[in-house]
Amino acid sequence: MIEIIPAIDIIDGKCVRLSQGDYNSKKVYNEDPLEVAKEFEDYGIRRLHLVDLDGALSHHIVNYKVLEKIASRTSLVIDFGGGIKSDEDLKIAFECGAQMVTGGSIAVKEPQLFTSWIERYGSEKIILGADVKDRKIAINGWTEQSDSDIITFLGNYIDKGVSKVVCTDIACDGMLEGTSIQLYKEILQHYPSLYLIASGGVSGMVDIEALQDAGVPAVVFGKALYEGKISLRDLQIFL
């Protein structure tokens, strides 16, 4: 059964969503992310993907108080990403209640530091964030594109001990037009034992079902929930 992981993206302490990573497309869905997290929990959701969008732009963790509030007032297992650029950022995230941390830009720009985190904390706690645009890895809140091809990039880090990856196709993210299922199938053909977390483009239950049929282990999504394309009741069959 595919693992269901709702996302809460944070700007200015509020629950928002973007389209294709464009900060100018910001739409606020709730002033209080804790309220959203509690509703997820009430429906039997166990996991949460919490993204500090301010942190992604600022190059350091910003919305750690939101993380701390959700972690202390719910039983959700939280993976936290956005702005994790140093040992201090990582320490803050874990101290504020994150059980896992997702690192993307840092894995491209400072591979030695990111690898040291895998060695120190283990592959269960350190998730690789692979944000893709035209098959190349994008960084810094998706504002920059690297020269790293997705398949090569993943293979390099799998060799270094990574076992969990959140892979987001930026072209699909927030568009409600379907996921990059062919890309995910290709990744799993190369790395069948990878715990691949698909992210971006979920438009309805049909997309989640298609990902499950393709053998994708987990899916992160948000906008489809916030826009009413999927209800929390719909998700009960996966929980």
For the segment 7-52, what is each residue's pLDDT rounded down to a tens digit?
A: 999 999 999 998 888 888 999 999 999 999 999 999 999 999 999 9
Q: What is the number of domains present in the chain?
A: 1
Range of the domain at 233: 3-238
pLDDT (tens digit per residue) in 123-169: 999 999 999 988 999 876 566 677 889 999 999 999 999 999 999 98
Q: Annotated active-site positions, please?
A: 9, 131
Q: Region 69-75: what's the mean pLDDT?
A: 98
User: For residue 140, what pLDDT is reported?
Assistant: 65
The helix (run of H) or strand (run of E) holding residue 152 is helix 150-159
> Which CATH number fits the domain that encloses residue 185?
3.20.20.70
User: For residue 143, what pLDDT is reported?
Assistant: 63
User: For residue 216, what pLDDT is reported?
Assistant: 98
Which phi and psi angles does 62 have, rounded to 5°?
Answer: -120, -55
Question: Residue 92: what residue type?
Answer: I
Residue labelled with tokens 């049929």: 213
Cα separation, 184 vs 148, whole angstroms: 17
Determine what percent of the chain is predicted with pLDDT higher than 90: 84
- Given a contact cutoff of 8 angstroms between Cβ atoms, the answer to whether 80 and 101 are in contact is yes
